[in-house]
Structure 1
Amino acid sequence: MPRLSDTMTEGVLSRWIKNEGDQVREGAVIAEIDTDKATMDLEAFDEGILEKHLVPEGTTVPIGEPLALTGTATAKPISSTSCRC
């Protein structure tokens, strides 16, 4: 879970926009996150295949916890503590 605001300590993964198996491009919106202030879009950090959702919709997730895996040679779990939101 990336930190989407200065006061955020956790967020709720409210909705997956991309499904497992979908091709994603870096910067594509893959999910919606409810924060302490607003609902925000979560963007992919890598280009590739969204291989697995690690968190079901409606789950409260602490900052830094992985949300999904993308399938590329350089892919990382989607959990960075910073994002381009």
Structure 2
Amino acid sequence: MAKKPEVFLVVDGCIQEGKTIYVKGKEYTPPNAELAEQLVKAGTIAPIRSATAQALMRADASTPAAPGTQPPPANSDLLNQQDE
């Protein structure tokens, strides 16, 4: 049975893989152990169960959403507002 890949949390900066960008606070699974080790040493990622990652997740959970990040109201669709 294959070993399940370890999940990490981005704790500083961001990581780009192709078109996907992982920002601070998002889960990230490196493609290989060598890259994971390099990113952990650099302080970019931390194991999800580490104290650093847990503190970041708690801080994100207690932070209210920033103004302007809420979805627009249902009636804001420009296609539905066209004059006939």
TM above 0.5: no
Whichever structure has more strand as a proportion of its residues is 1
**TM-score interval, normalised by the smaller of the two chains:** under 0.3
Higher relative contact order (CA 8 A, sep 6+): 1
Larger gyration radius, structure 1 or structure 2: 2
Whichever structure has more helix as a proportion of its residues is 2
Q: TM-score with structure 1 length normalisation?
A: 0.24
